Structure 1
Amino acid sequence: MEHELAQLSINDEEEEIIHIPIDVNKENRGEIFQLVGCFLTASTIHFSAMKSTMANLWHPVKGVQICDLGEKRYLFQFFHAMDMIRIPLVLTPFWVQVYNVPIGLFSENLVVQLGNFLGNFMEHDVSYLGKGNKNFMRIRVQIDIRRPLKRRKKISFGGNCSYVTFKYERLSLFCFYCGKLGHNDSSCKERMNLGVKIAEMG
């Protein structure tokens, strides 16, 4: 039987297309509030614990369903537009250490300006400022993880200029080539693309 089927030729009727209409009426299918995200860590994610933790952190109005898509990607299904707006999946708070602040130049204004340069200023801690080999101040900022992290900032004072430098606390998966979170140097697309361009140029 299988041999006979294999010998059959494709006829015109088999090639005719069946058109399947797609219902685009939102009233019938409802609005879809979905996001795809990942965790910026090289550690293993325990799925069941993660689902419980995210629900407790976010407190979504009508709940959330989370599906594992593989390759460290997850689908977040919300059921209310407000949850899509208020849950900042691309923003995360960081404590940043600020070094080389010129002596006597610390001020609330400087702290806020540096914080807003890094992201969105939240708060600061000056308990280490002027403490010998731990002479730095800390700024807590909310950072857009899609953007490269800032390394330094030039400041001017009394006709002179210098740089303050930044060190991010508890930094996990980070690429020193492009400055972005979520991957390391060896898997950086920008670095790979540059290598391809150089190879093409010969």
Structure 2
Amino acid sequence: MARYQDIYAQLADLDIEGEENGEFVLEDGVEEEINKYELCLVGRFLTEKNINNGAMKTKMADVWKPAMGISIKEIEMGFYLFQFYHREDLQWVLNGGPWSFDNAILVVDVIPSGEEPLKVPLWHLNFWIQIHDLPTGFMFEAVGKQLGNFFGEFLLYDDKNNTSIWRECMRIKVCLDVRKPLKRKKKITRKNGSEFVVSCKYERLGEFCFSCGLISHTERFCRRYLDKRVDGPKEWGSWLRAPPRRGLSQARSKWLREEGDVDWESKFGRSDDTRVLRKGWSKIQEMR
């Protein structure tokens, strides 16, 4: 009997909750130092449609062409883990885009060390946008930064777009929050009080809603559209999509010459000797 009394006394003195919640520090060297997701991106497609995983994997691999290959796995419905095998391949995909499959835009991001893929917020996309209808005197980077921070968050100014004598638009890279509607235009006031309006076009813009301006769905799944809260003309439309910058299906004519291409003549046999002969022939024609 005394033995059982001793046991009951010991149990009474135990503070299980206190021991469980007490400080417990791991010794140095036992934590995982390597980020197992270092060469991975997590992503999701902005669509309400079902994704054909087999077709998507083939399409994305063909588009990205990673030199060391890629593995793609659906870790939860609608969320994908893209595993690369070289940092250059991962960085190329991360810097490019926006990417899409079946017109559904893909949001991807890196996975910080110690973080789980499904906990990474996937709300931001980097887009190249074109600013149209800017007067010539406003085609410089300082203006681009201000406009970039209006249409999204300014990231980069394309100074190579300024090499031509005539520029159709300004080109800047911005970060967009996919939870907000696409911005379409901006009225700007000069110092003298006069005003003008610039319009924005988005490069490689996939499907989006013409009723609310969000790129997370189309009208088919838009609550605003389904509730018939949209009257009159749509405020968004396909005109927000910038046309492709290069005609991939058209071969470039050898007779087209870029401004400043001083080597064009030599590329096509227009050497100095050829120019001399041409000048000589012109003089003969004048004498006639």
TM-score by length of 1: 0.58
The secondary structure found in structure 2 opposite 1:96 is strand
Name the CA distance, whole Å, in 1 between partners of 2:114 and 2:21: 14
Name the CA distance, whole Å, in 2 between partners of 1:86 and 1:102: 45
The secondary structure found in structure 1 opposite 2:136 is coil
The secondary structure found in structure 1 opposite 2:46 is coil
Name the CA distance, whole Å, in 2 between partners of 1:139 and 1:166: 11
1:114-125 map, 5 Å: 114-125=147-158
The secondary structure found in structure 2 opposite 1:104 is helix
The structure-2 alpha-carbon separation of the partners of 1:189 and 1:86, relative to structure 1 and needing over 3 Å to count, comes to closer
Report the counterpart of residue 67 of structure 1 in structure 2.
Answer: 75
1:18-29 map, 5 Å: none
Contact 1:128–1:135, Cα closer than 8 Å, also in 2: no
Contact 2:181–2:212, Cα closer than 8 Å, also in 1: yes
Report the counterpart of residue 196 of structure 2 in structure 1.
Answer: 162
Name the CA distance, whole Å, in 2 between partners of 1:86 and 1:143: 20
The structure 1 segments of at least 4 consecutive aligned residues displaced by more than 3 Å after TM superposition are: 41-45, 47-50, 78-88, 126-132
| Matching residue within 102, 114, 139 for 1:106 | 139
Structure 2 residue runs of 5 or longer lacking an equivalent are: 1-19, 23-41, 67-72, 82-110, 231-288
Deviation at 1:109, TM superposition (A): 1.8
Q: How many residues align?
A: 148
Name the CA distance, whole Å, in 1 between partners of 2:197 and 2:137: 15
The structure-2 alpha-carbon separation of the partners of 1:101 and 1:79, relative to structure 1 and needing over 3 Å to count, comes to closer
Matched, 1:39 2:72: no
Report the counterpart of residue 264 of structure 2 in structure 1.
Answer: none
Q: CA offsets per residue over residues 64-122 of structure 1, 9 Å max, x none? A: x84343xxx3387x896546699551111101111000121223221001111111111
Matched, 1:151 2:173: no
Deviation at 1:170, TM superposition (A): 0.8
Name the CA distance, whole Å, in 2 between partners of 1:172 and 1:43: 16
The structure-2 alpha-carbon separation of the partners of 1:104 and 1:89, relative to structure 1 and needing over 3 Å to count, comes to same
Matched, 1:190 2:224: yes
Rg: which structure is higher?
Answer: 2
Name the CA distance, whole Å, in 1 between partners of 2:186 and 2:180: 16
The secondary structure found in structure 1 opposite 2:127 is strand
Q: CA offsets per residue over residues 34-88 of structure 1, 9 Å max, x none? A: xx974025694436839x98xx9xxxxxxxx84343xxx3387x89654669955
Contact 1:126–1:136, Cα closer than 8 Å, also in 2: no
- Match of 2:79, as an amino acid? Y
CA RMSD of aligned residues (A): 4.0
Deviation at 1:184, TM superposition (A): 1.6
Question: Between Structure 1 and Structure 2, which shows a larger proportion of strand residues?
Answer: 1
Name the CA distance, whole Å, in 1 between partners of 2:174 and 2:152: 6
The secondary structure found in structure 2 opposite 1:39 is strand
Report the counterpart of residue 88 of structure 2 in structure 1.
Answer: none
The secondary structure found in structure 1 opposite 2:204 is coil
The structure-2 alpha-carbon separation of the partners of 1:87 and 1:112, relative to structure 1 and needing over 3 Å to count, comes to farther
Name the CA distance, whole Å, in 1 between partners of 2:215 and 2:75: 23
What is the percentage of aligned positions where both structures have the same residue? 33
Q: Pick which of 182-191 and 138-147 moved more.
A: 182-191
Q: CA offsets per residue over residues 145-186 of structure 1, 9 Å max, x none? A: 111010001111121111100011111121111000022223
Q: Which has the higher contact order (CA 8 A, sep 6+)?
A: 1
Contact 2:209–2:215, Cα closer than 8 Å, also in 1: yes
The structure-2 alpha-carbon separation of the partners of 1:184 and 1:86, relative to structure 1 and needing over 3 Å to count, comes to closer
TM-score by length of 2: 0.42
